[in-house]
Structure 1
Amino acid sequence: MAEFFPRRGDGGYGLALFLNAGDPPLPVLEDLVHMLDERGVECLELAVPFPDSVTDGPTIRRSARRALDAGVELADVLAFVERVRPGLHRLRIALLADWSHSVKPRPLADVVGEVAGSGVDGLLLHALPPRLRTDYHAAAADAGLPIVTTCYHGVSSPRVLDEAAANASAYLYLVAHYGRSGTSAAPDLAGLAGTVATLRERTAVPIAVGFGVRTRQDAESVAGCGADAVIVGSAGVARVENALSAGRDVVADFEDFVSSIAARDGEYTQIRTGG
């Protein structure tokens, strides 16, 4: 399976964009996913919607509520991925699922197997109880499913950093701030660079930094700290929300957003053939 964020030597950065499946509605999202692939975006972090996330601010929580009100559940999201994934040339899909809302009622290994079978490129399992981590890692390994692990700059203990680095096989998501998405201040760049360097000594997988990345300037600053990629959530979700409320073309609005935040290395141009 291809690497999520190829290492760059040109000062650029990989781009991961977060969206809730079902916001925009799945038929529109399908067109949006193909646009991201044509533009050369590396990763879509696609969430199975769940309510009342304690780590998300109002923008993403409203998005999740719209998707939930539309009836989008795990089975719908996996069917969506299974439908669109074979036609993608570059874009990778990392699925974010909440353990309590989407996984808890069923055997963990069964759900992991279904996620892998859909064609998802990686899985981030949100709020998994620590007692189940060993079982989760074993199930993912058995299914051949790369996983995304998370840790927090300035908050996670050395033991947590070590565990995240040891178990990441898709990429490692370093959260730049402790708090809710969309409400964070600008990253502490000096300290962030130290955390990235610490993690780099412990893992060979790409390191992606999120929370507080809203503009190209933010992304360039984070990349300057040594990150392989940036993860953009609330700013992109807000573009979807605004387009929906104004009756505008969601895909066109989001494409403009991609242009505004992508690296200035000429790589984010339309690619309509494989490669």
Structure 2
Amino acid sequence: MSDLFPRPPGLAVFLNAGDPPFDVLDDVADMLDEHEVDVLELGVPFPDSISDGPVIRRSADRALAAGTDLKDALAFVERSRSRHRHLRVVVLADWAHTVRPRSMAQVITAVAASGAAGVLLHGAPPRVRPDFYDRAGAAGLPVVTTCYATSAPGIVAEAAAHASAYVYLVTHYGTSGSGPAPDQGALRAPIDALRTLTDVPVAAGFGVRTAADVERVHAAGADAAVVGSPVVACAEAALVAGRDVAADLGALVTGLRPHHSRSSL
């Protein structure tokens, strides 16, 4: 079983590689490690994501304008691995923008060599997923799979069968940064269904903005919460205002911790 979330409720946060710039992102990662954030989901930036709202789209556009690519993202992963005691980095790579122009073999080999704690393949059509699962397994690279709280049983079964890092349970349809707070009652059944199929952790995201939301997903049975748009928005606001991005994000992360977890930080 994956050990990415050793002390529930775990916390994963999302940022794009290259936004904030890598010198700042290095400081942010150090802060996340000090605050014992479990996972940084690091997006290899790509344009025009249909699943992302304007906050994350702006972030990806800034990173792409700065020339950020897969090589830059994986260099950051290697730096993080060498100096962080707690934080682990999962790479999110888009099929159309990052993988298809290269090859599945090249990308999986490079991500595994970086020391990433896992990989999430975004937007992969069904025909390429078996090759992805096989190559990641052969490389010893843990896989993050995804499904929705309302996904059909076959989709849930595929996610459970091939997850080796964790299952990312998306709480509702829509774009990131939109939609309601997680519904504890509505999440319990899909989380219970995953529990019957896999023993890897379940991390729930979309709509998670506050410590109360983190508590809700944990009370529904999830091992961790994933926070994306609020983190990206906080970094953006700090950059625009000329503030210390790591300090602002540190305050945000502290505020996301349920009260019973803060005393251990």
Q: TM-score, normalised by structure 2?
A: 0.97
Identical-pair percentage: 55
Which position in structure 2 is the counterpart of 1:179? 174
Matched, 1:114 2:73: no
- Unaligned regions of 5+ residues in structure 2, if any? none
Q: Give the distance between the partners of 1:162 and 1:266, measured in 2 at CA.
A: 32
Which position in structure 2 is the counterpart of 1:234? 229
Which position in structure 1 is the counterpart of 2:128? 132
CA RMSD of aligned residues (A): 1.4
Give the one of 166, 191, 210 matched to 2:186: 191
The equivalences for 1:10-29 within 5 A come to 12-29=8-25
Q: Secondary structure at the match of 1:184?
A: coil
Q: Give the distance between the partners of 2:175 and 2:106, measured in 1 at CA.
A: 31
Matched, 1:206 2:217: no
Q: Give the distance between the partners of 1:200 and 1:173, measured in 2 at CA.
A: 13
Contact 1:31 1:251 in 2 (8 A): yes
Instruction: State the Cα distance separating 1:267 from its structure 2 match.
Output: 5.7
Which position in structure 2 is the counterpart of 1:60? 56
Q: Give the distance between the partners of 1:143 and 1:257, measured in 2 at CA.
A: 35
Q: Secondary structure at the match of 1:67?
A: helix
Aligned residues: 265
Contact 1:41 1:90 in 2 (8 A): yes
Instruction: State the Cα distance separating 1:35 from its structure 2 match.
Output: 0.9
Which position in structure 2 is the counterpart of 1:244? 239
**Closer, same or farther: CA 268–102 of 1 in aligned 2, 3 Å:** farther
Cα shift readout 1:176-206 (whole Å, capped 9, x = no counterpart): 0011000111223212111101111111000
Which position in structure 1 is the counterpart of 2:139? 143
Q: Give the distance between the partners of 2:13 and 2:211, measured in 1 at CA.
A: 13
Q: Which has the higher contact order (CA 8 A, sep 6+)?
A: 1
Q: Secondary structure at the match of 2:230?
A: helix
Q: TM-score, normalised by structure 1?
A: 0.93
Contact 1:116 1:143 in 2 (8 A): yes
Matched, 1:104 2:100: yes
- Unaligned regions of 5+ residues in structure 1, if any? 271-275
Q: Give the distance between the partners of 2:120 and 2:224, measured in 1 at CA.
A: 16
The equivalences for 1:34-113 within 5 A come to 34-113=30-109
Q: Give the distance between the partners of 1:237 and 1:265, measured in 2 at CA.
A: 25
Q: Give the distance between the partners of 1:104 and 1:15, measured in 2 at CA.
A: 31
Q: Give the distance between the partners of 2:248 and 2:263, measured in 1 at CA.
A: 16
Contact 2:204 2:222 in 1 (8 A): yes
Contact 1:39 1:269 in 2 (8 A): no
**Closer, same or farther: CA 46–261 of 1 in aligned 2, 3 Å:** same
Q: Give the distance between the partners of 1:107 and 1:258, measured in 2 at CA.
A: 36
Q: Give the distance between the partners of 1:107 and 1:59, measured in 2 at CA.
A: 29
Q: Secondary structure at the match of 2:128?
A: helix
Contact 1:40 1:268 in 2 (8 A): no
The equivalences for 1:161-176 within 5 A come to 161-176=156-171
Instruction: State the Cα distance separating 1:221 from its structure 2 match.
Output: 1.0
Q: Give the distance between the partners of 2:107 and 2:228, measured in 1 at CA.
A: 25
Give the one of 197, 212, 219 matched to 1:217: 212
- Higher mean Cα deviation, 205-214 or 186-195? 186-195
Contact 2:12 2:40 in 1 (8 A): yes
Contact 2:78 2:114 in 1 (8 A): yes
